Amino acid sequence: MQLFEVNPFIRYARMHAYFQPMKKDSICYDCRFFYILRGEGSFSCGGESFTVGENMLIYLPPGTKYRFTFTDYDTVNFYVLNFDLTDRYYSLSKSLGTATEADYQPEKKPSYQLPAEFTEPIIQPDGLYARNAVGKCIELFLKKDTYYAHRASAVLKEVLFEILQGHDEEDGGYALCRSVSEYIREQFAETALTNEEIAERFHYHPYHLSRLMKQYTGKTLHAYLMEYRLHMAKNYLITTNLSITQVAERAGFASYSYFIKIFRERTGLSPARYRQTHRSMGL
Protein backbone atom coordinates (compact mmCIF):
# COMPACT_ATOMS: atom_id res chain seq x y z
CA MET A 1 0.00 0.00 0.00
CA GLN A 2 1.34 3.42 -0.99
CA LEU A 3 0.70 6.77 0.70
CA PHE A 4 -1.57 7.94 -2.11
CA GLU A 5 -3.83 4.97 -1.37
CA VAL A 6 -4.48 6.00 2.24
CA ASN A 7 -8.22 6.34 2.80
CA PRO A 8 -8.91 6.02 6.56
CA PHE A 9 -11.93 4.06 7.74
CA ILE A 10 -12.90 5.05 11.28
CA ARG A 11 -14.76 2.48 13.36
CA TYR A 12 -14.55 4.21 16.75
CA ALA A 13 -14.14 7.88 17.75
CA ARG A 14 -14.73 9.29 21.22
CA MET A 15 -13.57 11.74 23.85
CA HIS A 16 -12.94 9.91 27.13
CA ALA A 17 -13.09 11.62 30.50
CA TYR A 18 -11.75 8.62 32.38
CA PHE A 19 -9.03 6.02 31.82
CA GLN A 20 -9.17 2.55 33.34
CA PRO A 21 -5.82 1.67 34.97
CA MET A 22 -3.89 -0.82 32.82
CA LYS A 23 -2.49 -3.72 34.84
CA LYS A 24 -0.97 -5.29 31.71
CA ASP A 25 0.18 -4.13 28.31
CA SER A 26 -2.54 -3.86 25.65
CA ILE A 27 -2.22 -4.78 21.97
CA CYS A 28 -4.40 -2.97 19.42
CA TYR A 29 -5.97 -4.80 16.49
CA ASP A 30 -6.34 -1.77 14.23
CA CYS A 31 -4.63 1.62 14.04
CA ARG A 32 -4.97 3.62 17.22
CA PHE A 33 -4.79 7.37 17.68
CA PHE A 34 -4.61 9.06 21.11
CA TYR A 35 -4.62 12.79 21.80
CA ILE A 36 -4.16 13.80 25.45
CA LEU A 37 -6.31 16.76 26.41
CA ARG A 38 -5.55 16.55 30.12
CA GLY A 39 -3.54 14.17 32.26
CA GLU A 40 0.00 13.40 33.37
CA GLY A 41 1.88 10.15 33.58
CA SER A 42 3.87 7.86 31.31
CA PHE A 43 3.40 5.87 28.12
CA SER A 44 5.42 2.79 27.21
CA CYS A 45 5.71 1.35 23.73
CA GLY A 46 8.33 -0.61 21.83
CA GLY A 47 10.63 -0.85 24.82
CA GLU A 48 10.63 2.93 25.34
CA SER A 49 8.92 5.10 27.92
CA PHE A 50 7.59 8.61 27.29
CA THR A 51 6.32 11.31 29.63
CA VAL A 52 2.62 11.97 29.02
CA GLY A 53 1.33 15.53 29.08
CA GLU A 54 -1.28 17.82 27.61
CA ASN A 55 -1.43 17.92 23.77
CA MET A 56 0.59 14.73 23.39
CA LEU A 57 -0.24 12.92 20.15
CA ILE A 58 0.23 9.17 19.66
CA TYR A 59 -0.25 7.05 16.54
CA LEU A 60 -0.01 3.25 16.84
CA PRO A 61 -0.11 0.75 13.97
CA PRO A 62 -2.02 -2.54 14.37
CA GLY A 63 -0.34 -5.10 16.62
CA THR A 64 1.40 -2.51 18.80
CA LYS A 65 1.88 -3.35 22.48
CA TYR A 66 1.50 -0.35 24.76
CA ARG A 67 0.57 0.84 28.25
CA PHE A 68 -0.52 4.13 29.84
CA THR A 69 0.13 4.96 33.47
CA PHE A 70 -1.47 8.14 34.83
CA THR A 71 -0.85 9.86 38.14
CA ASP A 72 -4.56 10.65 38.58
CA TYR A 73 -6.92 8.54 36.47
CA ASP A 74 -10.01 10.51 37.48
CA THR A 75 -8.77 13.71 35.84
CA VAL A 76 -7.66 12.20 32.52
CA ASN A 77 -9.29 13.56 29.37
CA PHE A 78 -8.33 12.40 25.88
CA TYR A 79 -9.44 11.73 22.31
CA VAL A 80 -9.19 8.23 20.86
CA LEU A 81 -9.73 6.94 17.33
CA ASN A 82 -9.71 3.33 16.10
CA PHE A 83 -9.31 3.04 12.34
CA ASP A 84 -7.76 1.35 9.31
CA LEU A 85 -5.71 3.20 6.73
CA THR A 86 -7.91 1.60 4.06
CA ASP A 87 -11.67 1.27 3.66
CA ARG A 88 -11.27 -2.34 2.51
CA TYR A 89 -12.68 -3.64 5.79
CA TYR A 90 -15.66 -1.28 6.14
CA SER A 91 -17.85 -4.31 6.97
CA LEU A 92 -16.03 -4.47 10.34
CA SER A 93 -17.86 -1.40 11.54
CA LYS A 94 -17.48 -1.77 15.31
CA SER A 95 -14.40 -1.30 17.45
CA LEU A 96 -12.09 -4.31 17.34
CA GLY A 97 -10.91 -3.48 20.85
CA THR A 98 -7.60 -4.51 22.38
CA ALA A 99 -6.12 -7.62 23.91
CA THR A 100 -3.42 -8.62 26.35
CA GLU A 101 -0.41 -10.55 25.14
CA ALA A 102 -1.94 -13.74 26.52
CA ASP A 103 -5.22 -13.53 24.61
CA TYR A 104 -4.14 -11.69 21.45
CA GLN A 105 -5.57 -13.25 18.26
CA PRO A 106 -3.51 -12.24 15.19
CA GLU A 107 -6.22 -13.40 12.78
CA LYS A 108 -8.58 -10.75 14.18
CA LYS A 109 -6.35 -7.97 12.83
CA PRO A 110 -7.38 -6.62 9.37
CA SER A 111 -4.88 -7.93 6.87
CA TYR A 112 -3.39 -5.30 4.59
CA GLN A 113 0.04 -3.81 4.01
CA LEU A 114 0.50 -0.43 5.68
CA PRO A 115 2.50 2.31 3.93
CA ALA A 116 6.08 2.20 5.18
CA GLU A 117 5.63 5.62 6.80
CA PHE A 118 2.92 4.27 9.11
CA THR A 119 4.39 0.93 10.15
CA GLU A 120 5.96 2.29 13.36
CA PRO A 121 4.47 4.20 16.31
CA ILE A 122 4.65 7.99 16.12
CA ILE A 123 4.77 9.96 19.38
CA GLN A 124 4.79 13.75 19.38
CA PRO A 125 4.87 15.58 22.76
CA ASP A 126 3.30 18.72 21.26
CA GLY A 127 0.55 17.87 18.80
CA LEU A 128 -1.42 21.07 19.31
CA TYR A 129 -1.67 21.57 15.55
CA ALA A 130 -3.93 18.50 15.37
CA ARG A 131 -6.20 19.24 18.33
CA ASN A 132 -9.06 21.02 16.53
CA ALA A 133 -9.02 18.63 13.58
CA VAL A 134 -9.21 15.52 15.76
CA GLY A 135 -12.05 17.09 17.73
CA LYS A 136 -13.85 17.85 14.45
CA CYS A 137 -13.34 14.28 13.31
CA ILE A 138 -14.98 12.95 16.49
CA GLU A 139 -17.82 15.46 16.23
CA LEU A 140 -18.60 14.31 12.68
CA PHE A 141 -18.44 10.65 13.67
CA LEU A 142 -20.81 11.10 16.60
CA LYS A 143 -23.37 13.30 14.84
CA LYS A 144 -23.54 10.96 11.85
CA ASP A 145 -24.94 13.57 9.48
CA THR A 146 -25.01 12.98 5.73
CA TYR A 147 -21.59 11.86 4.41
CA TYR A 148 -20.17 11.94 7.97
CA ALA A 149 -17.93 8.89 7.39
CA HIS A 150 -16.33 10.38 4.28
CA ARG A 151 -15.92 13.82 5.86
CA ALA A 152 -14.40 12.39 9.05
CA SER A 153 -12.09 10.24 6.93
CA ALA A 154 -10.92 13.30 4.99
CA VAL A 155 -10.17 15.21 8.21
CA LEU A 156 -8.22 12.28 9.67
CA LYS A 157 -6.28 11.82 6.44
CA GLU A 158 -5.10 15.43 6.60
CA VAL A 159 -4.04 14.97 10.23
CA LEU A 160 -2.09 11.81 9.39
CA PHE A 161 -0.16 13.56 6.64
CA GLU A 162 0.58 16.50 8.91
CA ILE A 163 1.99 14.05 11.43
CA LEU A 164 4.40 12.77 8.79
CA GLN A 165 5.86 16.24 8.33
CA GLY A 166 7.55 15.80 11.66
CA HIS A 167 6.71 19.24 13.00
CA ASP A 168 10.01 20.27 14.47
CA GLU A 169 10.04 23.41 16.62
CA GLU A 170 9.75 25.79 13.66
CA ASP A 171 6.96 23.86 11.98
CA GLY A 172 5.20 23.59 15.32
CA GLY A 173 5.28 27.37 15.63
CA TYR A 174 3.74 27.75 12.19
CA ALA A 175 1.05 25.17 12.97
CA LEU A 176 0.28 26.89 16.27
CA CYS A 177 -0.18 30.24 14.56
CA ARG A 178 -2.41 28.64 11.98
CA SER A 179 -4.58 27.22 14.77
CA VAL A 180 -4.69 30.62 16.47
CA SER A 181 -5.72 32.26 13.19
CA GLU A 182 -8.54 29.74 12.75
CA TYR A 183 -9.68 30.34 16.32
CA ILE A 184 -9.78 34.10 15.75
CA ARG A 185 -11.83 33.66 12.58
CA GLU A 186 -14.31 31.55 14.54
CA GLN A 187 -14.51 33.73 17.68
CA PHE A 188 -13.80 37.31 16.50
CA ALA A 189 -17.37 38.43 17.25
CA GLU A 190 -16.92 37.72 20.97
CA THR A 191 -16.13 41.08 22.56
CA ALA A 192 -14.37 39.27 25.42
CA LEU A 193 -11.80 37.84 23.01
CA THR A 194 -8.43 39.30 24.06
CA ASN A 195 -4.75 38.40 23.89
CA GLU A 196 -5.00 36.89 27.35
CA GLU A 197 -8.07 34.79 26.52
CA ILE A 198 -6.52 33.48 23.30
CA ALA A 199 -3.21 32.71 25.01
CA GLU A 200 -5.00 30.85 27.80
CA ARG A 201 -6.97 28.86 25.24
CA PHE A 202 -3.72 27.63 23.66
CA HIS A 203 -1.81 27.37 26.96
CA TYR A 204 0.88 29.95 26.14
CA HIS A 205 1.96 33.20 27.73
CA PRO A 206 0.40 36.16 25.83
CA TYR A 207 3.82 37.69 25.11
CA HIS A 208 5.23 34.44 23.72
CA LEU A 209 2.17 33.79 21.55
CA SER A 210 2.18 37.36 20.25
CA ARG A 211 5.87 37.03 19.36
CA LEU A 212 5.21 33.83 17.41
CA MET A 213 2.32 35.45 15.55
CA LYS A 214 4.59 38.35 14.61
CA GLN A 215 7.23 35.92 13.38
CA TYR A 216 4.90 33.84 11.19
CA THR A 217 2.22 36.34 10.12
CA GLY A 218 4.05 39.66 10.31
CA LYS A 219 1.46 40.93 12.84
CA THR A 220 1.25 40.81 16.60
CA LEU A 221 -1.63 38.87 18.13
CA HIS A 222 -3.53 42.08 18.91
CA ALA A 223 -2.91 43.48 15.42
CA TYR A 224 -4.06 40.26 13.77
CA LEU A 225 -7.28 40.19 15.79
CA MET A 226 -7.96 43.89 15.13
CA GLU A 227 -7.30 43.54 11.40
CA TYR A 228 -9.67 40.61 11.09
CA ARG A 229 -12.42 42.44 12.99
CA LEU A 230 -12.02 45.44 10.69
CA HIS A 231 -12.07 43.15 7.67
CA MET A 232 -15.38 41.69 8.81
CA ALA A 233 -16.77 45.15 9.65
CA LYS A 234 -16.00 46.32 6.10
CA ASN A 235 -17.74 43.25 4.74
CA TYR A 236 -20.85 43.91 6.84
CA LEU A 237 -20.92 47.57 5.77
CA ILE A 238 -20.86 46.69 2.09
CA THR A 239 -23.03 43.57 2.04
CA THR A 240 -25.68 44.21 4.72
CA ASN A 241 -28.05 46.92 5.91
CA LEU A 242 -26.99 46.59 9.53
CA SER A 243 -26.72 49.86 11.43
CA ILE A 244 -23.22 51.09 12.29
CA THR A 245 -23.84 50.11 15.91
CA GLN A 246 -24.85 46.60 14.85
CA VAL A 247 -21.79 46.31 12.61
CA ALA A 248 -19.53 47.27 15.51
CA GLU A 249 -21.14 44.69 17.77
CA ARG A 250 -21.13 41.91 15.19
CA ALA A 251 -17.46 42.55 14.41
CA GLY A 252 -16.54 42.17 18.08
CA PHE A 253 -16.02 45.79 19.15
CA ALA A 254 -17.26 46.33 22.72
CA SER A 255 -17.35 50.12 22.27
CA TYR A 256 -19.08 51.97 19.43
CA SER A 257 -16.86 55.03 19.88
CA TYR A 258 -13.71 52.89 19.81
CA PHE A 259 -14.89 51.21 16.61
CA ILE A 260 -15.42 54.62 14.94
CA LYS A 261 -11.99 55.81 16.10
CA ILE A 262 -10.11 52.70 14.91
CA PHE A 263 -12.02 52.54 11.63
CA ARG A 264 -11.15 56.16 10.81
CA GLU A 265 -7.49 55.62 11.71
CA ARG A 266 -7.15 52.53 9.52
CA THR A 267 -9.24 53.58 6.50
CA GLY A 268 -9.30 57.37 6.60
CA LEU A 269 -13.11 57.23 6.38
CA SER A 270 -16.00 56.96 8.78
CA PRO A 271 -17.93 53.65 8.57
CA ALA A 272 -20.91 55.47 7.01
CA ARG A 273 -18.72 57.13 4.39
CA TYR A 274 -16.93 53.84 3.67
CA ARG A 275 -20.28 52.12 3.09
CA GLN A 276 -21.49 54.91 0.79
CA THR A 277 -18.27 55.03 -1.23
CA HIS A 278 -17.88 51.29 -1.78
CA ARG A 279 -21.49 50.60 -2.51
CA SER A 280 -21.49 53.34 -5.16
CA MET A 281 -18.47 51.63 -6.72
CA GLY A 282 -20.51 48.42 -7.01
CA LEU A 283 -18.07 46.39 -4.95
HSE, side-chain direction, 13 A CA sphere, residue 133: 23
Q: What is the pLDDT of residues 219-274, one digit of tens each?
A: 899 999 999 999 999 989 988 999 999 999 999 999 999 999 999 999 999 999 99
Does any domain span residue 182?
no
Does any domain span residue 40?
yes
CATH number where 208 lies? 1.10.10.60
Q: Which residues form the domain of 12? A: 3-167
Measuring CA to CA, how many Å separate 82 from each of 94, 129, 211? 9, 20, 37
Residue-level pLDDT at 283: 40
Sign for the pseudo-dihedral over CA of 120, 36, 69, 92 = negative
Residue-level pLDDT at 280: 58
Task: Mark whether 232 and 127 lie in a shared domain.
Answer: no
pLDDT at 169 over 50: no
φ, ψ of residue 16 to 5 degrees: the values are -105, 135
Task: Mark whether 147 and 211 lie in a shared domain.
Answer: no
Task: Mark whether 271 and 136 lie in a shared domain.
Answer: no
Residue-level pLDDT at 217: 75
Residue-level pLDDT at 167: 42
Which pTM does this prediction carry? 0.58
What percent of the chain is modeled with pLDDT above 70?
94
- Higher-pLDDT residue of 275, 168: 275
**Mean pLDDT confidence for 186-206:** 90
**Mean pLDDT confidence for 142-147:** 89
Residue-level pLDDT at 242: 93
Cβ proximity of 93 and 70 under 8 Å: no
